[in-house]
């Protein structure tokens, strides 16, 4: 049986890392073989692109340049890790996927919807996660949490207005897609984790194959 692809999305400071660890542990405990990925990154070439994207080059980085780099890394990860794992029956838990580009580059950077749609179609050919959990945090709070972790990278330095536009796009897209579940990351972390586990367990039950009885 083909595996399933679960993605965790959110702004900086939303708590993705702890939620991903929680999901991986829960799926593993239920007997599933799980592989974990992150974007951009996840393969040697994609990790090099990640460093390129996040580095402060001391020059203006065109929105289209950033967008194309993101999809270049995504295609490498999809081709070399995600699809092979799914075909082997593994469940893949991803730290970000296409929704991030739709929100960050489409919403935050203001790249047109037509451009976003065309590049996504070329790169992914309609592939999408089976389940997405979007951790919704207010941008000011998320950035404060991110600063508490240390120095911000180039994208994290984009400013509050950028992240407000990004969040707005995330929420708009979530309203249009039933596979995207919104969890408030403004709650205590214990409640966030409880909400996430309920979503994952409900989804896992919905796709569990029905066992046939011998008459």
**pLDDT exceeds 80 at position 50:** yes
SS3 161: helix
Contact 89, 1 (CB under 8 A): yes
Cα(106)–Cα(89) distance, integer angstroms: 32
Core vs surface per residue 118-148: b (16+ CB within 10 A) or e: ebbeebeeeeebbbbbbbbbbbeebbebbee
CA 140 – CA 91 distance, rounded (Å):
33
| CA 82/CA 151 separation, integer angstroms | 30
Closest C-alpha among 200, 7, 153, 33 to residue 93: 7
Domain span at residue 114?
5-207
Which residues have C-beta within 8 Å of that of residue 15, sequence separation ≥ 6?
Answer: 135, 137, 185, 189, 192
With cut-offs at 50, 70 and 90, classify the pLDDT of residue 140: very high
Domain membership of residue 186 (yes or no) is yes
Least confident of 92-106, 114-128, 137-151, 186-200: 137-151
Average pLDDT over residues 135-143: 96
Instruction: List, for residues 64-76, the tens digit of each pLDDT value.
Output: 999 999 999 999 9
Q: How many domains does the chain have?
A: 1
- pLDDT tens per residue across span 152-195: 788 888 889 999 999 999 999 999 999 999 999 999 999 999 99
Whether 90 maps to a domain, the answer reads yes
pLDDT at 208: 77
Q: What's the pLDDT tens digit per position in 22-38?
A: 999 999 999 999 999 99
Q: Is residue 214 part of a domain?
A: no
State the pLDDT confidence band at 209, using cuts at 50, 70 and 90.
low
What is the value of pTM for the model shown?
0.94
For residue 61, the domain's CATH number is 3.40.50.300
In a domain, 54, yes or no: yes
213, part of any domain? no
């Amino acid at each position: 049986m083909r595996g399933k692809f679960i993605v965790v999305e959110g702004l900086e400071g939303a708590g993705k890392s702890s939620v991903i660890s929680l999901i991986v542990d829960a799926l593993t405990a239920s007997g599933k073989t799980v592989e974990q990925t992150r974007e951009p990154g996840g393969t040697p070439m994609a990790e090099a692109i990640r460093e390129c994207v996040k580095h402060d080059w001391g020059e203006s980085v065109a929105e289209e340049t950033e967008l194309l780099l993101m999809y270049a890394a995504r295609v490498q990860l999809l081709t070399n890790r995600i699809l092979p794992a799914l075909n082997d029956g593994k469940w893949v838990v991803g730290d970000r996927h296409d929704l991030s580009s739709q929100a960050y580059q489409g919403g935050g950077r203001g790249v047109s919807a037509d451009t976003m749609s065309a590049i996504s179609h070329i790169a992914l050919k309609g592939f999408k996660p089976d389940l997405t959990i979007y951790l919704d945090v207010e941008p000011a709070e998320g950035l404060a949490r991110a600063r508490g972790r240390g120095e911000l990278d180039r994208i994290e330095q984009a400013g509050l207005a950028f992240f407000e536009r990004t969040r707005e796009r995330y929420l708009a897209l979530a309203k249009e897609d039933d596979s995207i579940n919104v969890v408030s990351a403004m709650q205590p972390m214990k409640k966030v984790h409880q909400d996430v586990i309920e979503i994952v367990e409900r989804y896992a039950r919905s796709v569990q194959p029905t066992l046939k009885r011998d008459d």
